[in-house]
Amino acid sequence: MNTSLRENGLTQNSFSFRELVRITVKTAYYTGSALLLIIMFLVTIDVVGRVLMNKPLWGVLEISEFLLAGAVLLGLGYTEFLDGNVMVELIYDRLSARWQNILRIFSSLVGIGFYGAVAWASGILTIELMNAKLTSDVLKIPAWPFRAFVPIGALLMVLVLSLKLFDNIQEFRKKRENK
């Protein structure tokens, strides 16, 4: 049974925590996509300026490095929401439905622990960078807003994995009651 969150639809009049998470991770995904477009635009201008006029755009590498974290990490939650992350099914497909559900519960718990730790540690680092007033080397812009992409992306993953965990536990209980 596929436990994709997109299949757990809502009525038109309902608004739940699940819907709030869906809207939030989708907004983060579009924000990450916009950051990727900005990177592509800046790099294109830099290359054209460097090749045609021998005048590169100053600080593009630095900005690209900062924005790349957001472009990648802000899309993780939405990708997981849609079950778009890679899953090796070599052994999984050979298990019974009960054991598949147990494995999904286990992987959600491991993911929540991992991304929770990443969110916590990177959140502390972001606050330390903000307090230290650390700036980039070339453009002298504050580094902490860009480092904040890491805890935000990890926290969104925790929310999505928590929803999946809840769904899988409910499915496990239903199957257990039907026996």
Give the model confidence (pLDDT) of 32-56 as tens digits.
Answer: 999 999 999 999 999 999 999 988 8
Per-residue pLDDT, 174: 87
Residue 11 has pLDDT above 70, yes or no: no
Q: Does the CA dihedral 23-29-30-32 come out positive or negative?
A: positive
List alpha helices for 74-143, DSSP H.
76-81, 97-132
> Would you say 116 and 154 are in contact if contact means Cβ atoms under 8 Å apart?
yes
**Which residue from 17, 19, 118, 127 is spatially nearest to 76, judged by alpha carbons?**
118
Are the CB atoms for 18 and 160 separated by under 8 Å?
Answer: no
Burial of 101 (0-12, 13-18, 19+ CB in 10 A): buried
d(CA 104, CA 72) in angstroms, rounded, equals: 24
| Stretch 90-105: mean pLDDT | 89
The three-class DSSP label of residue 75 is: coil
| Confidence band for 150, pLDDT divided at 50, 70 and 90 | very high
92 has a pLDDT exceeding 90:
no
Handedness of CA 106, 111, 112, 113 (dihedral sign): positive
Structural contact between residues 105 and 168, judged by C-beta atoms closer than 8 angstroms:
yes
Residue 179: per-residue pLDDT: 66
Q: Distance of alpha carbon 102 from its chain centroid, rounded? A: 24
Of the listed ranges 10-19, 48-57, 169-178, the one predicted with least confidence: 10-19
